[in-house]
Amino acid sequence: MAYTINDDCIMCGACEGECPVSCISEGDGKYVIDADACIDCGSCAGVCPVDAPQA
């Protein structure tokens, strides 16, 4: 199951640079993850200061 980013996102961008498959992009008010490209690695969750990426 792909990760999603919840509304706790503070738009810091830490997750975007950490994603090994570049499936995270800036959305409207928060970053978003392309569910079709996400490999469920959890790298984004590991660097997020507010735990916004959730499995």
- Return the CATH number at 50: 3.30.70.20
Count structural domains, the chain.
1
Q: For each of the chain's 55 residues, which pLDDT tens digit applies? A: 899 999 999 999 999 999 999 999 999 999 999 999 999 999 999 999 999 999 9
Give residue 26's pLDDT. Answer: 97
Distances (CA, A) of 47 to 32, 43, 50: 15, 7, 9
Q: 3-class SS at 13?
A: coil
Give residue 46's pLDDT. Answer: 97
CB 39 within 8 A of CB 16: no
Say how many Å lie between the first and final Cα of the chain, rounded: 7
Give residue 1's pLDDT. Answer: 84
Distances (CA, A) of 42 to 1, 15, 25, 29: 11, 10, 16, 21
Give residue 35's pLDDT. Answer: 97
Range of the domain at 37: 4-54
